[in-house]
Amino acid sequence: MKRFFVCGLYLLLLYGFIFLPVIVLVVFSFQAGRFPIPPFQGFSLKWHEAVLGDEDLMVALFNSLLVATVSSLVSLVLGFLAARAVSNGSLPFSKGIRGLITAPISVSYLVIGLGLLASLNLMGIGLSLWTVGIGHAVINTPLCFAICLSAMGERQITAERAARDLGAGEMSVMGLVTAPMILPALIAAFLLSMTFSWDEFIIAFLLSRFDVTLPVEIWSLLRSGLNPKTNAVGSLVFLLSAFVVLAAELITMRRK
């Protein structure tokens, strides 16, 4: 009984530490006052209306969604192809190649961002949302590679050999055998890439100029002092993310 009480208290403190900032953010985004401090100064939707009416924030929100989606798709394709090439053991020095591909995971985003900025300047490529997408693909491809590679094994290799024996081409093998067999890993890799790209600030700040993503736009708002619209933006993003996760869970449960 004592152990159960201690474990329950530990879980309560852990989840409180994780979710308390989110709860405070959402609650104070609905208050009428300008400053997110107690006591609560009345319920109001004016800050959410201000966010939805702010063209710069809406454009930045769309930019973040666009960059996250495109860069995650590119990262997923590159990571999947690299994992498939390494998993079947046909490449020489496959272990060394695996280490080289996953190495960027351990490198600071600041170092990657500065390196990409210098490389783009040397090549004469101007900064834009495309360069931000390139940066996010660089940091997310090793993640997708690692997730896809962890889902591949002897069972998948055997199924691919059987498909080739039956006359299937390489594209058919990848699309009809390999991808369906590791579909949960592909979905997980894509969603994680979307999450990291959506929240990433350093690379987006270094590699963008006029068209910026949502984290960079929020940083611009905070430079002029505490802005209540930032709480409203955070609560809208959180509620949207929670809705997407809940919908995915319901669809998964229904399929099961």
Q: pLDDT by residue (tens digit) across 177-188?
A: 888 888 888 888
Confidence of residue 255 (pLDDT cuts 50, 70, 90): low
Tell me the three-class secondary structure of the chain, residue by residue.
CHHHHHHHHHHHHHHHHHHHHHHHHHHHCCECCCCCCCCCCCECCHHHHHHHCCHHHHHHHHHHHHHHHHHHHHHHHHHHHHHHHHHCCCCCCHHHHHHHHHHHHHCCHHHHHHHHHHHHHHHCCCCCHHHHHHHHHHHHHHHHHHHHHHHCCHHHHHHHHHHHHCCCCHHHHHHHHHHHHCHHHHHHHHHHHHHHHHHCCHHHHHCCCCCCCHHHHHHHHHHCCCCHHHHHHHHHHHHHHHHHHHHHHHHHHHHC
pLDDT digits (tens, 9 = 90+) for 84-131: 888 776 667 777 777 788 888 888 888 888 989 999 888 888 888 899
Is 235 domain-assigned?
A: no
In a domain, 75, yes or no: yes
Per the structure, the count of domains in the chain is 1
Residue 104's CB is within 10 A of a number of other CB atoms, namely 17
Containing domain of residue 91, as a range?
62-225
Nearest to 74 by CA among 190, 166, 216, 233: 190
In a domain, 121, yes or no: yes
17 located within any domain: no
Which pTM value belongs to this model?
Answer: 0.80
Reported confidence tier of residue 140, pLDDT bands at 50, 70, 90: very high
Q: Which of 43-47, 184-188, 204-208 has the lowest mean pLDDT?
A: 43-47
Please report whether residue 69 resides in a domain: yes
Q: For residue 147, what is the domain's CATH number?
A: 1.10.3720.10
Q: What is the mean pLDDT of residues 192-201?
A: 86
Residue 134 covered by a domain: yes
Does the residue 243 lie in any domain?
Answer: no
Residue range 165-171: mean pLDDT, rounded: 77
Residue 55 in any domain: the answer is no
